[in-house]
Structure 1
Amino acid sequence: MANITVQPATADRFDDAQHALTGGGDGRSCQCQWWMITNAEFQRKPPDERKAMLRDEMAAGPPPALIVYVDDEAAGWVRVGPRTRQVRLGRTRAFTEHSTEPWDDETVWAVSCFVVRKEFRRQGLNARLLDAAVEYARSGGARVIEAYPLDPDAGTKIPVNDLYHGVLSTFLEAGFTEVARPKPHLAIVALDLAARPRSAVVP
C-alpha cells in the first residue's frame, strides 16, 4: 500500500510544487496564478513570470497550498487560503452574485485549484487533499471554506483541464453544502467549520 502524506507548500518544497504542477493539464503554464491576479495581468505575464510569482509567494509565506506525496513523490497540489487574497474570485460575477458570504471577510477561505499528476489520478488524492485543506484552513483561522466545483453529471460537457476546480461529489462527500448553482455545471459550496468536527487527517 502506498504511503500518502500531505504537506504545506513551503519555500523549501518549490521543486516538489513544480513536479506536482507539471504532470498534466495547465499547471505548467498557469503556475496556480489564475485566481491570484486579474485577467489582464495574467494575459500579460508569460509562464516564466508566473513561475517566479509562485516562487515568491511560497518564499513569503504563509504556504498558499498543500502538496500530496505518494511514496515521497510530489503527486498533487491544492490551493487553499483566504478568499480575499485570491483576487480573481472577487471579480468573477458567477461567484460574487451568488456567494452567501461577504467578500471582505478574511475568515472566509477558498479551495480553488486542484492538480494531480496523470499517473496518480483515480486514486482518491483530491479527497485527501481536500480533507487536509479543511484542517489547514481551520488552523489558519478560517470560519467558512468556500469552493466552486464542477458537476460532471449536470449534462454539460466539461473539458478535462477545467476540472482543476474540483468535482462537486468530492466536496459533498467531505461535508460541504451546495449553496448556489450559478450555471448548470458550476456549483458554489461552503463548509461551516464550527459545524464540522476536526478530522483525524492533518496536513
Structure 2
Amino acid sequence: MPDFEFHPVTAERWPDLETFFKANGNPNYCWCMRWRLSSSQFSKEDAAGRKRQLANFVNEDVPVGVLAYHEGKVVGWCSIGPRESYLGLERSRILKRIDEEPVWSVVCFFVDRAFRGQGVTAKLLKAAVAYAGAQGAEWVEGYPVEFGKSYQFMGAPSIFAQVGIAEVGEASNGRKIVRMRTNQE
C-alpha cells in the first residue's frame, strides 16, 4: 500500500490544490464552495468566481481543508473548517445544528481515481480530525450519506465509522449527522 503525507491547505500549498482541482473534473466546477456560500451566492458565481472565493479564504488563513500527497503529488482532498465558515451549511434547513457545541465540519472528499479503494478517504479524515484538534477544535462533525444519493462527496457513513466518528443524529433528508471529539483516537 502506498505511503501518504497529509498537509493543511495554506497559501504556500494553494498551487497544489489548484493543480489537483483543475486536473480532476468536478472540483474544478465547484471549488468546494457549495457549503461556504449561500445557495444564491453559489448560483451567482461561476467556477472562476468560486475559485477566487476559496483563494480568498486561504489567503486570509481561514481553514479550508487537508491535502493527501503521494510522492509529492496531491492525490486527495478533505474539506474541513469551523462550521461557522460554511454559510450555506449554517443556513441549511436540512442540516441544522443539533446543539450549540462549536464544531468543525467535514463537507467534502475527493480522491484521484488512481488512488481510490486504497483507504485514502479514511486516512484523509483521520488527518483532518487531527488538524482540527491542533487548531483548537473540540469536535468534528460530518454529514455522510449512503452511496447512490445526492452529495455523495460528503462521504459514506462507513468512512466515518472507520475512524470512530459516531452517529449523533439524522437530518430531515435521511443524511446522518456524525460527531467525534478531536482528542480521541
Q: Give TM-score, length-normalised by structure 2.
A: 0.91
**Following superposition of structure 1 onto structure 2, how do residues 136-147 of structure 1 map, counting pairs within 5 Å?**
136-147=131-142
Structure number with the higher helix fraction is 1
Runs of 4+ in 1 over 4 A off after TM superposition: none
Deviations 1:10-32, CA, capped at 9 Å, x for gaps: 11212210233244452111001
Unpaired runs of at least 5, structure 2: none
CA change 1:111–1:22 in 2 (3 A) is same
RMSD: 1.8
Q: Which residue in 1 is equivalent to 2:119?
A: 124
Of all paired residues, the percent bearing the same amino acid is: 30
Unpaired runs of at least 5, structure 1: 198-203
**Paired positions, count:** 185
Deviations 1:114-133, CA, capped at 9 Å, x for gaps: 11122221111111110001
Instruction: State the one-letter code of the partner of 1:130.
Output: L
Instruction: State the one-letter code of the partner of 2:111.
Output: V
Measure how far apart 1:193 and its partner are.
Answer: 3.0
Q: Which residue in 1 is equivalent to 2:162?
A: 173
Instruction: State the one-letter code of the partner of 1:191.
Output: M
Question: Per chain length, whose mean CA-contact separation is higher, i.e. which structure has more relative contact order (CA < 8 Å, sep 6+)?
Answer: 1
**Following superposition of structure 1 onto structure 2, how do residues 23-172 of structure 1 map, counting pairs within 5 Å?**
23-24=23-24, 26-96=26-96, 99-102=97-100, 105=101, 107-152=102-147, 157-158=148-149, 162-172=151-161
Deviations 1:115-159, CA, capped at 9 Å, x for gaps: 11222211111111100011111111111111101123xxxx326
Measure how far apart 1:63 and its partner are.
Answer: 3.6
1:35–1:89 Cα contact (<8 Å) kept:
yes
- Give the match's secondary structure for 1:136: helix
CA change 1:2–1:137 in 2 (3 A) is same
Q: Give TM-score, length-normalised by structure 1.
A: 0.84
Cα distance in 1 for partners of 2:98, 2:138 equals 13
CA change 1:52–1:184 in 2 (3 A) is closer
